Structure 1
């Protein structure tokens, strides 16, 4: 049986207030301030999604990284062509802790519903999907560290069963100010692009 070949068409990282695409710096923000950095990226790239400012940090991180990867895609109408596979190690713990603080805050009679809505890690999948009109397969995995083998297997399944034409994969980790986004797009094989293999996924993650 002939093996299907796929390629990694692009990749992006976001960490330490720097956004890189294809290993090239495309944006730098104020060091040590993720909130200011995220707001600056949003404004510099003239993104139109006012709900961005109400998101928790994890969703903002996923949103920024996804924007970097999807900026040259066309989204005139709803599509199921792009699936989303996200993962991290701490789920929504950063926001969970803030939610707990709001519950025990004696100055607050009720915990904030604006915080509570983000106490599920997969809410960031919804934010990206709404922004880009994606009506596609999506999943969020929680693993101790980035699992390239897991992502490779899931991507192959989605593409070979024709559930989508492309898959946006991402490691989206944010906890108490420390964060990293690593994302890449996989689709049909094209000459000159990086072949979608376990080894290549791990190699670009380490860069």
Structure 2
């Protein structure tokens, strides 16, 4: 799967770079711009999934008051409470794992891009303060941005939940942000640049979509 995606992405990236290079000949600009354009196109392709995820998040927020009532009503019978909660989820066509799907899909893409940026001929090309996109950020700016943008973009995907679930989600979010920050210190600047731009676009997209969708009536 990874090799298949890598092959497609390499051809796709090279095609975009050829177009960008026709306008911007300087490799210290063209490769960085290509990564930005490439990231935007990937986000556009994932837009249908993002729309579905945002709708699910908004619906999840809307049904939380009913979920809390059920949990309070059947607090002495957790199994019955779980059954009733799942019934509400089914009636309102939401999944408690719906918000995780976009992030899970990002992982094979990220792994494929790890190989892509190892096989694309961009040796020595830099971008902004990065003198070489094949190497890690010497100023540690991108790794820090990676952690910050991962936290806020993931947080923007989460809907309102009960206190325990919210605490668990927050802990996982912080852990994931720390993980990406740590890994970004080792990854090539090109890959981390992609991840930071991807997170920024995703955050903006989620905020705009949440404003667009109104909370639905609970069935």
The reply to whether TM is greater than 0.5 is no
Task: Judging by fraction of residues, say which structure has more helix.
Answer: 2
Considering only CA atoms, is the larger Rg found in Structure 1 or Structure 2?
2
